[in-house]
Homo-oligomer: A and B are copies of this chain.
């Protein structure tokens, strides 16, 4: 498995609009085992995205899907930047398939 934990920052006041785009694009992507979008509790423009994929190849392939490309295009103007981006190797837990 392959994982990503990222903190994204929206343009001021645009967090919910950005979340809506992320939610719409995250359904049923091949190889995606978990993709959770969360508001930071205290930082009002920050979004956390935690991802688990069956492998890094699936994540790379997802970036080329037309619906993902379209979402990236819509999201880009609302993104101010990325505060952190960590690559992980998930080993298991609760809520993963199989």
Contact = CB atoms under 8 A, between A and B. Distances in A.
Interface of A: 1, 3, 5, 19, 22-23, 26-29, 32-42, 48, 50, 52, 86-97
Taken together, the copies of this chain in the complex come to: 2
A70 to B, nearest CB: 17
A27 B95 CA distance: 9
- The 4 A-B residue pairs with the shortest CB-CB distance, nearest first, are A34-B95, A38-B88, A38-B90, A35-B94
Main secondary structure of the interface of A (DSSP, over half): strand
A19 B88 CA distance: 14
A5 B7 CA distance: 11
Given A5-B5, A5-B48, A38-B3, A33 B91 contact: no
B94 A29 contact: yes
A68 to B, nearest CB: 13
